[in-house]
Amino acid sequence: MDVLADPFRFEFFRYGMAVATLAGGLCALVGTYVVLRNMSYIGHGLSHAIFGGAVASYLVGLNFYLGAGAWGVASALMVNRVARRRTIGADAAIGVITTASFALGVALISRTSGFTRNFEAALFGNVLGVGVSDLAVVGGVSAGVALVIVLLYRPFLFLTFDPEVAEVFGIPTARLDALFALLLAASVIATMQVLGVTLIAAALVIPPVVARLLTDRFRTMVVLSVLMGTISGFVGMYLSFHLDIASGAAIVLVQGTLFAVVYAVTARSRVGRKRLAGVAAH
Amino acid sequence: MPVDGAALATLSEVSFAYEHETVVVDIDLELTTGSLRGIVGPSGSGKSTLLKLLGGIVQPTIGTVTTAPQLRIGYVPQVETVNWYFPVTVDEVVLMGSPARRLGVGYTTEEKARAHQLLHDLGIGHFEHRHIRELSGGQQQRVFLARALMADPDLVLLDEPMAGVDVKTRQDVLAILRTLAGDGIAVVLTTHDLNSVAAHLPAVVCLNRRIIAQGPPATTLVPDVLLETFGAEMELIEHEGHPIVIDKHPESTVIPRLRRADGRPG
């Protein structure tokens, strides 16, 4: 029991554990829509784009959440605008926007001495610096995103399943697309510190994919995804503490293990194989 | 519901282009309550785009689309465009069509009862908790028709509802659509099935980027119109007052016989 209780003697771990657990659940919630809308690439790109804003705000002494937030909102709206055009070049255009922003962040860092440790933390996640204000931000964003998704469950479901037809049925798809882009940006910014830029995409994608392997019902998929994201955040933090590895990497490794186990089990059944085909289609 | 015979949607001199590619040109079309109309034309003739213009999915590049105030539209997409792997059951799909703009997760008892009744009326009530992928083509068509009807529509648009379904299902779907029109709902469908249009629908629109002809099948589905619409010669015979369209014998077409690699006739 000491192994489980010991880490809680440290304040940083208590904050880190709370933030990681919330971050895992938040990414899994938003990620369900990201996966089903085939937006995994956008989630990956957005996290990289926001990195540029995070570095720039650090260098000019601006609050991380303000700087990265403004940059993230601008990137999300730009990416959403490009994606909605549904032209052949949308992926390429998103790649240009997001990687250019990431490159700007790397360029700014390479000009700044003594930033290596923060650089690694931003890329791979680190909970050492997490304090009560970070917990408040992640908690607030998690509550806000969950509230919006619960309230707008019905139109978001229609939009995710069939965006073109949803418009005919009176769903304001353009406004909901923009709102979802903002929710995604807020989630990425809030979880960047604990998960790291390079691993957020995995935290967005793996729990929903595992949940998809286990159910054919949308609502059940959302619940299972959040449950798995939350548990992997919690377990990952323990691993991070005991194995002395980056928090983001530990959380994603737990999710990867979950995926491997569920994949191996479901691949044996006929229903499971059909769901696997479903995952491949997303 | 608008009054009988009232105009629900009017397209006036409508043209539409994707980027620089013109899809439909100079379309004039009026839909009234209780009208039942089939749009026929070759692939790429603009049939689906015409439905999208009526549904407000795309806006005309030139011309105007006027709809009745508070017009409710039900839309049945082409089955090829549906994501059959999406984790959603039959009842969940139908409930998406509910016109109520409620906040929160879940649906009211009344909405669930209405969805159940629609599925029952369409003969697929016992499939409501199945995943949509587990149904046959005809059953899947009915699910999306049920979703369209869940919206309590004045106008139902169906994109290729008879594609890939068997004869019995095709007849059933057309019977349902005739019933809807009898109830005052305007119905527009696109199809490649000329004989079903001729036998079951009171009006047809022949489209090949522009409207070649429109009116009752008996006077519209004539050789000259079909040649101009499809670019292929067809013969017509009459059966119980309906035209039946038959392809011309292949030997009369201008396509040369295939030759073998050694140059001899194939």
Assess whether pLDDT exceeds 80 at residue A237: yes
Q: Which of A168, A216, A278 faces B73 most closely, judged by CB atoms?
A: A168
* Contact list, B56 vs chain A (CB under 8 Å): 167-168
Q: What is the ipTM of this complex?
A: 0.83
Residues of B near A (Cβ–Cβ under 8 Å) read 55-57, 73-75, 77, 81-83, 85-89, 92-93, 96-99, 101-107, 131, 133, 151, 157
**Range of A40-44, A121-125, A188-192, B109-113 with top mean pLDDT:** B109-113
Phi, psi of A76 (to 5 degrees): -60, -45
The percentage of chain B sitting over the pLDDT mark of 70, rounded to a whole number, equals 91
Q: Tell me the shortest Cα–Cα distance from A37 to chain B, in angstroms.
A: 10
B7-26: average pLDDT: 89
Compute the mean pLDDT over every residue in chain B, rounded to the nearest whole number: 86
The residue length of chain B stands at 266
CB contact under 8 A, A278 and B56: no
Q: Considering only alpha carbons, which residue of chain B is nearest residue A281?
A: B85
Model pLDDT for residues B36-86, shown as the tens digit of each residue: 999 999 988 999 999 999 998 899 999 999 999 889 999 999 888 888 889
Q: Tell me the shortest Cα–Cα distance from B238 to chain A, in angstroms.
A: 39
Least confident of A85-89, A191-195, A239-243, B41-45: A85-89
CB contact under 8 A, A161 and B96: yes
Q: Considering only alpha carbons, which residue of chain A is nearest residue B77?
A: A165
Q: Which of B56, B99, B157 faces A167 most closely, judged by CB atoms?
A: B56
* Contact list, B103 vs chain A (CB under 8 Å): 151-152
Model pLDDT for residues A63-99, shown as the tens digit of each residue: 777 777 788 788 777 777 776 665 545 567 677 777 8
A263-267: average pLDDT: 85
Chain-centroid distance of CA A210 in Å reads: 15
CB contact under 8 A, B82 and A217: no
pTM of the model: 0.84
Q: Tell me the shortest Cα–Cα distance from B242 to chain A, in angstroms.
A: 34
CB contact under 8 A, A162 and B82: yes
DSSP string, A198-246: HHHHHHHHHHHHHHHHH-S-HHHHHHHHHHHHHHHHHHHHHHHHHHT--
- Using alpha carbons, select from B39, B41, B42, B33 the residue that is nearest to residue B53: B39
CB contact under 8 A, A218 and B87: yes
List b or e across A55-79, with b for residues whose CB sees 16 or more CB atoms inside 10 angstroms: bbbbeeeeebbebbbebbbbbbebb
The percentage of chain A sitting over the pLDDT mark of 70, rounded to a whole number, equals 88
Contact B110, B178 (CB under 8 A): no
Q: What is the pLDDT of residue A88?
A: 45
* B contact test, residue of A85, A160, A214, A216 with most B CBs within 10 A: A216
Model pLDDT for residues A211-226, shown as the tens digit of each residue: 999 998 999 999 999 9
Q: Considering only alpha carbons, which residue of chain A is nearest residue B89?
A: A217
Residues of A near B (Cβ–Cβ under 8 Å) read 36, 150-155, 157-158, 160-162, 164-170, 212, 215-221, 274, 277-279, 281-282
A38-61: average pLDDT: 80
State the pLDDT confidence band at A47, using cuts at 50, 70 and 90.
confident
Model pLDDT for residues B215-264, shown as the tens digit of each residue: 998 888 888 888 888 887 777 777 777 777 777 765 555 555 555 556 55
If 0-12 CB within 10 Å is exposed, 13-18 middle and 19+ buried, where does residue B60 land?
Answer: middle
Q: What is the pLDDT of residue A43?
A: 76
Q: What is the pLDDT of residue B66?
A: 92
